[in-house]
Amino acid sequence: MGGGHDRVGTARRRGRPGRLVASFGVVSGNDRARWFGIRVAAVNAVGHLLYLPSYPLWAMALFALDILIIHALAVHGGPRPEDLASG
């Protein structure tokens, strides 16, 4: 009956609204949303590594994309310089 796949699909669908809210938080400069995005991308990267034996090229491409997302959030996701100057 595919019980494991049903649970994974349900968990992914339930996590989408949180990721959507976090993306708006990152755009607005919220630090907690940025760290949440880093955590989600890290878990996603590990998940893509688990698909490496089945889909090697696709898994590596998505893993690289997750690493780029983590880098972008870590380096460029902080407060903007004009926000620091005004506060």
**pLDDT for residue 62:** 92
- The model's pLDDT over 31-51, given as tens digits with 9 standing for 90+, comes to 888 998 899 889 889 988 988
- pLDDT at position 9 over 80: no
> Which residue's structure tokens are 């407060």?
79
61 has a pLDDT exceeding 60: yes
How far is residue 54 CA from its own chain's centroid?
Answer: 22
pLDDT (0 to 100) of residue 60:
95
Quote the strand ranges of the chain, DSSP E.
none
Higher pLDDT, 70 or 25: 70
